[in-house]
């Protein structure tokens, strides 16, 4: 009897001690320590079961029941405490990571397209909507495509108009985008209706309106029933789309070896006093059609080559072409 009483006392003591410890702790580690201390393999509760073995059989059931009860309630309480602590810890963490949306943001600079790229994209878009598709050609060109096939034979005085940068005798940096006309016609049967945007190169001394590198968009439309009226309509339409209705425009007779007749187009800003030439154009010369085996009796067409840099200068009131290539961000950021 004495033994039973003693054991029950011990159980009660352990119960009170463990509950109290559990109540006072405030970390998950400590909580785990308490679990090990009481419920672990060598813990106080397994010890109680050893003691139980020493009791007379008739007392075992009663004491055993108490120990089991203690074991399961303590287990429950420990788990409960663990959950509480975990939740607290999470709340603390969230508080630490919380975002103050009233703080001023850090501004991130975004890049943008170069003004010439923007203008090129806009032009390409206008022409695509008029049904032209895009073709590209090489920047290093042969003498044949850059001159010969365009009706500019060697020793022809017109070659002087295109001060060229030669790589070797037969190759040069293309002086215009017109050679792409030939490449496209060589590889396609008529009708063709294309534009070719791209970079061109000339041995020019830089000044306010000239630069050794510049951009052109070439246009070519060949079909069975095209006239100068179509050329005029296409030109007028895209210029109005690009500049708006207020800019003035004029056709002026000119000469190009690859067109007959030929015309230049000049533009004036609404507030301006000077015409600036922006494109050359004309009806494709029969010799050019013959060079690509198109029958000039059946097919005609028109072509034009426009200076992208000059279009950009006119539209945005930029008075020096060199600004495009200096990469001064103070200039570029304005657009």
Cα separation, 275 vs 321, in Å, equals: 16
Instruction: For the CB of residue 290, give the shortest distance to ligand DAH in the complex, in Å.
Output: 16
Q: What is the contact mask toward ligand DAH in residues 7 to 46, using x (rule: CB under 6 A)?
A: ----------------------------------------
164 sits near ligand DAH (criterion: CB under 6 A): no
Write out the binding residues for ligand DAH, residues 39-68 only, by CB under 6 A.
Answer: none
Which range, of 46-54, 140-148, 151-159, 255-263, touches ligand DAH by CB under 6 A?
Answer: 255-263
200: left (phi over 0), alpha (psi -120 to 50) or beta: beta
Instruction: For the CB of residue 259, give the shortest distance to ligand DAH in the complex, in Å.
Output: 4
DSSP class of residue 43 equals: S
305 sits near ligand DAH (criterion: CB under 6 A): yes
DSSP class of residue 171 equals: E
132 sits near ligand DAH (criterion: CB under 6 A): no
Cα separation, 148 vs 186, in Å, equals: 14
- CB-neighbour burial class of residue 179 (10 A; exposed 0-12, middle 13-18, buried 19+): buried
Cα separation, 86 vs 83, in Å, equals: 5
Nearest 5°: the CA angle 328, 329, 332 is 95
256 sits near ligand DAH (criterion: CB under 6 A): yes
Q: Which two tokens stand for residue 268?
A: 């004036």
Q: How far is CA 162 from CA 11, 100, 220, in A?
A: 108, 63, 20
Write out the binding residues for ligand DAH, residues 174-203 only, by CB under 6 A.
Answer: 176, 178
281 sits near ligand DAH (criterion: CB under 6 A): yes
Count of positions on this chain that bind ligand DAH (CB under 6 A): 12
Which range, of 128-136, 233-241, 288-296, 300-308, touches ligand DAH by CB under 6 A?
Answer: 300-308
- Binding site residues, ligand DAH, CB under 6 A: 176, 178, 218, 256, 259, 262, 280-282, 303-305
């Amino acid at each position: 009897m004495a033994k039973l009483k003693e054991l029950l006392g011990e159980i009660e003591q352990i119960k009170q001690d463990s509950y109290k410890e559990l109540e006072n702790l405030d970390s998950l580690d400590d909580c785990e320590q308490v679990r090990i201390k009481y419920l672990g393999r060598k813990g106080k509760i397994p010890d109680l079961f050893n003691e139980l073995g020493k009791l007379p059989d008739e007392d075992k059931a009663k004491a055993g029941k108490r120990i089991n009860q203690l074991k399961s309630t303590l287990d429950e309480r420990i788990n409960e405490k663990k959950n509480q602590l975990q939740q607290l810890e999470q709340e603390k963490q969230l508080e630490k990571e919380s975002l103050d949306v009233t703080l001023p943001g850090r501004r991130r600079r975004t890049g943008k397209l170069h003004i010439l790229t923007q203008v090129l994209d806009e032009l390409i878009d206008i022409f695509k909507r008029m049904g032209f598709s895009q073709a590209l050609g090489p920047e290093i060109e042969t003498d044949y495509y850059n001159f010969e096939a365009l009706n500019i034979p060697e020793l022809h005085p017109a070659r002087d108009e295109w001060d060229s940068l030669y790589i070797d005798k037969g190759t040069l940096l293309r002086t215009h985008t017109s050679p792409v006309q030939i490449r496209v016609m060589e590889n396609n049967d008529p009708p063709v209706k294309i534009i070719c945007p791209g970079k061109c190169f000339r041995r020019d001394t830089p000044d306010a309106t000239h630069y050794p590198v510049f951009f052109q968009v070439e246009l070519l439309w060949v079909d069975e029933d095209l006239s100068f009226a179509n050329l005029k309509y296409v030109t007028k339409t895209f210029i109005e789309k690009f500049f708006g209705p207020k800019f003035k425009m004029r056709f002026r007779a000119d000469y190009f070896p690859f067109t007959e007749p030929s015309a230049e187009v000049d533009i004036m800003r609404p507030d301006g006093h000077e015409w600036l030439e922006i494109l050359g154009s004309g009806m494709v010369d029969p010799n050019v059609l013959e060079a690509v085996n198109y029958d000039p009796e059946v097919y005609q067409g028109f072509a034009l080559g426009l200076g992208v840099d000059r279009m950009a200068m006119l539209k945005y009131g930029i008075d020096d072409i060199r600004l495009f290539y200096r990469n001064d961000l103070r200039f570029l950021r304005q657009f």
